[in-house]
Structure 1
């Protein structure tokens, strides 16, 4: 019996079974960076505010470099960009503990953190872009819709799981070895697994006949400034605010409880329900449109975060963190699924890195602001900021309804296709 034609094969037939574990572990350095930097600086200096500023510098570097990296990948291919980035990032992470413990000036800490952010490879965004291209290039049309939905759910769940494991690993290494151990571990993971991810054969498969040179046609950058895209950038920024303010306010709260090293472990609990619900989104019916999922799950997030804000004990905070995870995971799945459907032609890597950068920047800026509030006013005041971020994510879901309605009325172009139909972005990824 002859082998099935390429377009009749499943996604995993095209990626190989090694791809998913490599791509998952390649996410961990990015997931560990902000938490690791925050934990190390707070432990070494005793200043939550300086720790927040330093982690903010990581996010600022990420947001500066993210769109440039995405554009370079869309033009040059992932291998040519990710290999040098992974090596440079590994070296900078390895050097950071020496900078912290050498008694360097604060500006040196901030500069080192900025360089770490500038060199962050963002494997999660690259994996999403790679999968979108492979689905569009290599899968048969009857497989695309279901595979796209499941893949976006998996990618978001993988992100959530990485952001669970990342803080847990940081907490374990910091508690049982030393505060510098998480950053050293991230350096090793970046050196080994980001390089392996960059060199994996799927880096070529996603580019179709053009191999590693990128797509034949790339939409102008101004296409990224359309309202349907900008509302997603704003929403991922809000989710990043939620992550950063939650982590830092939780750190301040646990510092008041005399157990700051457990903050990362408690923060990781939030991601358990988040990852499970993110995967569960894949089984939701297509008629449950993404715009309504956004409102539902961000609403759950806002209500649970209100409970977190009002909590005054470790057990109550722990329960609220678990419930918050039930809202944030599916919200992220929805946002990145919408981004896949609204990606301009040949710009899938760019839009994914823009969203990832927006989230990282917001996470770091929120960490800095929350750290300053915690240090000057107290942990109770800092715990209000995650609620602000959650409410903003919900409000932007309402804005998205207006944007979609106007787009449908204005034209029947690709940007106006209902978010639950993934055919348009798949064409955009390969045309």
Structure 2
């Protein structure tokens, strides 16, 4: 049989058009939390109420996100995404109406929960697809391509989560506070549908195929996988607490609207170093990367405690960014490596939900700390998050099985 002289690449397997599509498909998710916050504050005049609704979005994602991933593993991504995208578009439009209605606040909480619960999880689904495609490459190329893929996906997430709030701000400024939520609904309806129908979306498996290829659910609760979920939740805490603490810091200086721009310093640095981590030698194993990156973040949060002016604040954010991007890549790579057979979408949504849970909880806690005890107290929360990230990295060091320790990845 004639063998092609050119072996396939990930780009040739996915198609060049896949990557911009997958990037835009995750933009509505990045707009939801801050879009809901902006809308509620404008419509109901309460920052506290806006924060609670944002937390409800996060709670919805945390509760239902992994179930959407499990449905994708069981029934295929295409039907799962088409249903989730349709429900999410309706939920976003419903919430835009609820915010301006005369209905009580609990109705808004339910609406916000539905927005989060129906979020289509484009980012974890994309990781799951690419992980599957990497398995079609020659064995000797898989470790390097997997590392590069996770680096790319993390960099895209960073860019989208920096760009998402900017889009929300522009839409709200130009068209009113309801525009970001309505815009997210339209983007979801169009791009999640296209993402669902893309040829990389694996078809649903028969009952016989599922029985043969799906690992039992109990394997999702193994300590070596759960420690990755716990670890990535600490990164979510870091995101939420840093942005909220930074907002308080800038509010003290009468320039609260600049908080998002300054936060971008951490996001941009994080994205750059997420890509750079793929260039490091395989001898710098995932097991070792985790605590090393966490120490870098811890150093940044320690510097943050002494930040009394903008230059020092920016220096601390830049130092944190150097560690955050590579740490996310490391955790997603470990998640892919430790995913039970046929459960990659479930694992990736568990990790994505872990970030959202940490972010939502930290935003509420840090906001309360800022209000009750001032900005200095609020800036302690990122330090605690960094310490927890390091502690979970140490735990992972001992939980890593011998087979992984011997492996390049």
Structure 2 residues without counterparts, runs of 5 or longer? none
Quote the offset at 1:154 in angstroms: 0.8
Asked if the contact 1:49–1:371 (Cα under 8 Å) also holds between the matched residues in 2, the reply is no
Structure 1 residue 360 corresponds to structure 2 residue 356: yes
Asked if the contact 1:291–1:419 (Cα under 8 Å) also holds between the matched residues in 2, the reply is no
Q: Aligned runs of 1:94-113 on 2, under 5 Å? A: 94-113=93-112
Between 1 and 2, higher relative CO (CA 8 Å, sep ≥ 6) is seen in 1
Asked if the contact 1:175–1:261 (Cα under 8 Å) also holds between the matched residues in 2, the reply is no
Equivalent-residue separation in structure 2 for 1:259 and 1:102 (angstroms): 31
The residue aligned with 1:412 is none
Structure 1 residue 36 corresponds to structure 2 residue 35: yes
The one-character-per-residue Cα deviations of 1:285-319 (angstroms, maximum 9, x if unpaired) are 00001111111111111111222233233443334
Residue among 283, 289, 304 paired with 1:287: 283
The residue aligned with 1:164 is 162
The one-character-per-residue Cα deviations of 1:230-272 (angstroms, maximum 9, x if unpaired) are 1101001101111111122222333333333332333223210
Equivalent-residue separation in structure 1 for 2:102 and 2:406 (angstroms): 52
Compared with structure 1, are the counterparts of its residues 267 and 44 closer, same or farther at alpha carbon in structure 2 (3 Å cutoff)?
Answer: farther
The residue aligned with 1:411 is none
Secondary structure, counterpart of 1:371 in structure 2: helix
CA RMSD of aligned residues (A): 2.4
Quote the offset at 1:166 in angstroms: 1.2
Residue among 291, 294, 297 paired with 1:298: 294
Residue among 246, 249, 257 paired with 2:253: 257
Quote the offset at 1:11 in angstroms: 1.1
Asked if the contact 2:242–2:379 (Cα under 8 Å) also holds between the matched residues in 1, the reply is yes
Compared with structure 1, are the counterparts of its residues 314 and 94 closer, same or farther at alpha carbon in structure 2 (3 Å cutoff)?
Answer: farther
Q: Aligned runs of 1:30-429 on 2, under 5 Å? A: 30-136=29-135, 138-204=136-202, 216-404=212-400, 407-408=401-402, 416-418=403-405, 421=408
Quote the offset at 1:66 in angstroms: 1.5
Quote the offset at 1:128 in angstroms: 0.8
Secondary structure, counterpart of 1:385 in structure 2: helix
Quote the offset at 1:103 in angstroms: 4.8
Structure 1 residues without counterparts, runs of 5 or longer? 409-415, 423-431
Quote the offset at 1:111 in angstroms: 1.4
Compared with structure 1, are the counterparts of its residues 323 and 171 closer, same or farther at alpha carbon in structure 2 (3 Å cutoff)?
Answer: farther
User: How many residues end up aligned between the 2 structures?
Assistant: 407
The one-character-per-residue Cα deviations of 1:109-146 (angstroms, maximum 9, x if unpaired) are 2211111110011111001111111121x322233222
Q: TM-score normalised to the size of structure 2?
A: 0.92
Quote the offset at 1:219 in angstroms: 0.8
The one-character-per-residue Cα deviations of 1:343-370 (angstroms, maximum 9, x if unpaired) are 1111111111111111111111111122
Equivalent-residue separation in structure 2 for 1:103 and 1:382 (angstroms): 34
Equivalent-residue separation in structure 1 for 2:334 and 2:180 (angstroms): 34
Q: TM-score normalised to the size of structure 1?
A: 0.88
Equivalent-residue separation in structure 2 for 1:191 and 1:64 (angstroms): 22
Compared with structure 1, are the counterparts of its residues 175 and 247 closer, same or farther at alpha carbon in structure 2 (3 Å cutoff)?
Answer: farther
Asked if the contact 1:52–1:369 (Cα under 8 Å) also holds between the matched residues in 2, the reply is no
Equivalent-residue separation in structure 2 for 1:321 and 1:184 (angstroms): 32
Asked if the contact 1:48–1:371 (Cα under 8 Å) also holds between the matched residues in 2, the reply is no
The one-character-per-residue Cα deviations of 1:57-81 (angstroms, maximum 9, x if unpaired) are 1111011112211111111000010
Equivalent-residue separation in structure 2 for 1:101 and 1:384 (angstroms): 36
Asked if the contact 1:74–1:215 (Cα under 8 Å) also holds between the matched residues in 2, the reply is no
Equivalent-residue separation in structure 1 for 2:106 and 2:309 (angstroms): 36
Quote the offset at 1:215 in angstroms: 8.3
Secondary structure, counterpart of 1:203 in structure 2: coil
